[in-house]
Structure formats: structure tokens, C-alpha cells
Amino acid sequence: MANEIRGGIPAEIRAIGADTVRVAGYAAVFNEETDIGDYFIEKIAPGAFTRAVKEDDVVFLINHEDLPLARTRSGTLKLKEDDRGLYMETELDRRDPDVQNIIYKMERGDLDKMSFAFRATKQSWDETGKVPVRTIEEVQLFDVSIVTSPAYEGTDISLCSLRDHRAARAQQNFNAARLRRRMKADLAARAPQENG
């Protein structure tokens, strides 16, 4: 079975020293539904990452590619599952050219999402509705990534210093509300077409 890639929410990058930035946030959240290619709806159940966080060697990547920026095996990437989802945290060296590229692109708003790559080791399906619903109950986890195009549109990632943290959070909330309004408008526009 091929590896799958999905998005999650939210994460932030914070300056913590002259040469260090901290990336922290959620690579995935529980019970958020997403449409997978108009084939089915998917959501992640609480507990899906419990085994993976303890046992899997997970890397932090850019767009699921290239050299790792951090890794659980080396202790540079910390993962934990809480009641919200999969939390990730790492400290990165600003002198690393890959890190410099992320910071600049995040400041411009070109990189503002997160994702994770996995293989479902336990899942269930509900096919009683119009669209099947897949619930991911346990995964083998391969990476968490900063990405341009996640499967879960609710994802975000921001770059801020500690003093700008509140302003960045307010902007994230504004962007999330704008996305919800756009999604509701799209659904409302589709309803007459589907009923007609």
C-alpha cells in the first residue's frame, strides 16, 4: 500500500535566538473532515498517532521531500498526541539554507500550511451516507512537512517573533474565518446545481 499525505493545523515559527527558530504546532487535528478527491470523506480519530509517536522515526520536511530539517530519532523533532491532534515541535538553525528559504517564504505567505505522510494501519468505513466516510484509527507516520498544498485546507503555519505571537494568532483566526465563509458559499452555490 502506498504512503498517503494529509494536512493538519496549525503551526508557528518563532524566533528564540540569533541563530535559532522554533517550529511548533499541529500537523493534524482530530475529527476534522476533508474530501479526498470526491471519492470519500476522511477524518482522523483521537488516538490515531499514539503508537506512531512512541515508535516511528519521523522526519520534518519541506513538501514531503529533500533532506530532513529535524528527526525524532536524533531528538531534534518532538511529537506528541493530545486531545486536539498531533503536536510537533523543533528548533532549527537559521544558518541552514533550507531554513532560510522557509523563513523568507513564510514571511511572504507562500508557505502557510502543514501536512503529514502516513500509512493507515487501522481504519473503519461508514458507507451508509451519500459519500463514504473513512476514519483513520491508527497510522504508521513517516513525516510532518511544511507544504504549499495540503489535503486538509484548515492547516496553517506562521512565522513570528515571541512578541508578535498574538498578532499572528489573530491573523490565523481571521484567515480561518474567511476560509469557512468561502467554503459555505461554495457549498451553497453547489446545492441548487445538485438538486436541479
pTM of the predicted structure, to 2 decimals: 0.72
Instruction: Say how many C-beta atoms besides its own lie within 10 A of residue 67's C-beta.
Output: 9
Each of the 196 residues of the chain gets a pLDDT tens digit; together they read 567 767 655 556 566 667 888 878 788 889 989 888 888 999 999 999 999 999 999 999 988 888 899 999 999 999 999 998 898 888 888 889 888 888 777 767 777 778 899 999 999 999 999 999 999 999 999 999 887 765 655 444 544 443 344 454 455 556 556 666 766 676 777 666 555 5
In sequence order, the β-bridge partners of residue 141 are 118
Which residues have a Cβ under 8 Å from the Cβ of 160 and sit 6 or more positions away? Answer: 12, 13, 14, 15, 167, 168
Residue that the C-alpha cell 467554503 belongs to: 183
